[in-house]
């Protein structure tokens, strides 16, 4: 919102366009990067399987979660200008506590508290399932790696809470955005 201050102040249009356009630009960039990743995956000798067709099912919750966070952060950043700085630090921490560089199934020696903290991250089941469907079909899926559906409930609750909170805060703040800028 801050980057588009002139447009927001001078024209009338749905404020939802700005954060969602950022999400769509990131999705387009992700798609282009995915082509390069696909080349590396095939170059590494991983053979395509039918589960690759399920990849859009992973993208949908990831897109919804990203859009919800974009709505929340764009609305909060107008009112509290330090949100962008805080989010940068939080996003870096979120990267390291999400099983991107390491599979969740290779962490059996972790204390239960640490594994439970990893499992409350809403990105953990999404990326664990993506790893199973794309890279390692023999690896346990998100439910098996977590130890059952009940262990994924906190992540699902945080996912739903983030989505509801993002929409609610944005709807509440959208009429005041031009004034606050």
**pLDDT tens-digit profile, the chain (181 residues):** 555 555 555 556 677 888 888 899 999 999 999 999 999 988 988 888 888 898 899 999 999 999 999 999 988 888 777 888 898 998 998 888 888 877 776 666 777 777 778 888 899 889 888 888 888 777 777 777 767 778 889 899 999 999 999 999 998 887 766 555 5
* Residues 142/128, Cβ–Cβ less than 8 Å: yes
* Residues 171/137, Cβ–Cβ less than 8 Å: no
pLDDT of amino acid 11: 58
Per cent of the chain over pLDDT 90 is 30
Q: Rounded distance, CA 125 to CA 156, Å?
A: 9
* Residues 146/118, Cβ–Cβ less than 8 Å: no
Q: Rounded distance, CA 94 to CA 26, Å?
A: 18
Using alpha carbons, list the distances in angstroms from residue 59 to 56, 123, 142: 5, 11, 15
Q: Rounded distance, CA 68 to CA 76, Å?
A: 12
pTM above 0.95, yes or no: no
């Amino acid at each position: 919102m801050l980057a588009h201050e002139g447009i927001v102040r001078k024209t009338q249009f749905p404020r939802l366009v700005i954060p969602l356009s950022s999400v769509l630009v990131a999705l387009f960039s992700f798609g282009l990067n995915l082509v390069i990743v696909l080349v590396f995956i095939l170059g590494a000798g991983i053979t395509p399987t039918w589960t690759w067709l399920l990849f859009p099912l992973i993208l949908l919750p990831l897109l919804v979660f990203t859009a919800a966070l974009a709505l929340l952060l764009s609305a909060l950043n107008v009112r509290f200008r330090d949100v962008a700085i805080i989010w940068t630090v939080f996003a870096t921490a979120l990267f390291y506590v999400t099983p991107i560089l390491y599979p969740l199934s290779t962490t059996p020696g972790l204390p239960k508290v640490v594994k439970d903290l990893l499992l409350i991250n809403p990105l953990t089941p999404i990326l664990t399932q993506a790893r199973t469907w794309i890279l390692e079909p023999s690896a346990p899926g998100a439910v098996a790696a977590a130890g059952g559906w009940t262990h994924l409930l906190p992540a699902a609750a945080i996912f739903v809470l983030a989505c509801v909170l993002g929409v609610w805060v944005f709807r509440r703040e959208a009429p005041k955005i031009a004034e606050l800028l």
